[in-house]
């Protein structure tokens, strides 16, 4: 299954989450460096807050935190940072939840396929070429040319399945 890339994994219970955050931030640094984009302190902080959990994070949750740290923080403060991070592929918006998750392997265009666990709330991301190609083929059959697919799948992660049957 070579073409199935995992961009963001479900956690297997307890883990050293600080490492997830650290890794995400340094990947982001490198990414922006590479692209000649500025990962300012504000943008970095927002990215850190998005990575605060493996579940989706809402814009106003981020704002609540930022407000305590910077006087004058307002919705545009957060939304602009989120827009930037999305453009860089560092975070994805989950449209069906109006919330955001970090991307573990940025550099690809758009988001892959987001897997959302209904039980624990965690979100994983895979990016499978076969799925995209099949969707493109089926779309072509009806005359449609894909530019950007949004795929958000709700279900149950392995851990939650093993826990409650």
Shortest separation between residue 105's beta carbon and Zn ion, angstroms: 15
Shortest separation between residue 63's beta carbon and its own copies, angstroms: 20
What single string gives the DSSP state of each residue in 73-138?
Answer: --HHHHHHHHHHHHHTTSEEEETTTTEEEE-SS--SSS--EEEEETTT--EEEEEEHHHHHHHHHH
Q: Does 148 bind its own copies (CB under 8 A)?
A: yes
> Quick one: what does residue 96 bind among DNA, Zn ion, its own copies, none, with the CB cut-off 5 to 8 Å set by partner type?
its own copies
Q: Which long-range contacts (CB under 8 A, 24 or more apart) does 107-115 make?
A: 107/31, 108/7, 110/148, 110/149, 111/150, 111/151, 112/5, 112/7, 112/151, 113/151, 113/152, 113/153, 114/151, 114/152, 114/153, 115/10, 115/153, 115/155, 115/157
Q: Does 150 bind its own copies (CB under 8 A)?
A: yes
Between residues 65 and 123, which has the closer beta carbon with respect to its own copies?
123
CA distances to 42, 48, 82, 128 from 96, in Å: 26, 22, 17, 20
Q: For residues 93-112, which are near its own copies according to CB under 8 A?
A: 95-96
> Quick one: what does residue 81 bind among Zn ion, its own copies, DNA, none, with the CB cut-off 5 to 8 Å set by partner type?
DNA
Q: Which 3 state secondary structure label does DSSP give 69?
A: helix
Between residues 40 and 139, which has the closer beta carbon with respect to DNA?
40
> Quick one: what does residue 119 bind among its own copies, Zn ion, DNA, none, with the CB cut-off 5 to 8 Å set by partner type?
Zn ion
Interface pattern 36-75 for its own copies (x via CB under 8 A): ----------------------------------------
Between residues 20 and 93, which has the closer beta carbon with respect to DNA?
93
Between residues 19 and 141, which has the closer beta carbon with respect to its own copies?
141
């Amino acid at each position: 299954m070579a073409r199935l890339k995992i961009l963001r994994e479900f956690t297997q219970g307890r883990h050293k989450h600080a490492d997830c955050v650290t890794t995400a931030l340094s990947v982001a640094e490198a990414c922006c460096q590479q692209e000649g984009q500025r990962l300012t302190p504000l943008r970095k902080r927002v990215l850190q807050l998005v990575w605060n959990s493996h579940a989706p994070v809402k814009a106003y949750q981020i704002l609540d935190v930022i407000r305590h740290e910077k006087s004058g923080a307002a919705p545009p403060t957060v939304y602009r940072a989120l827009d930037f991070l999305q453009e860089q592929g560092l975070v994805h918006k989950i449209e069906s939840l109006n919330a955001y998750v970090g991307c573990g392997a940025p550099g690809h265009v758009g988001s892959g396929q987001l897997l959302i666990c209904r039980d624990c709330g965690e979100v994983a991301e895979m990016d499978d070429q076969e799925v995209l190609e099949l969707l493109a083929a089926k779309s072509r059959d009806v005359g449609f040319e894909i530019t950007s697919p949004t795929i958000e799948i709700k279900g149950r992660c392995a851990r939650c399945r093993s826990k409650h049957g």
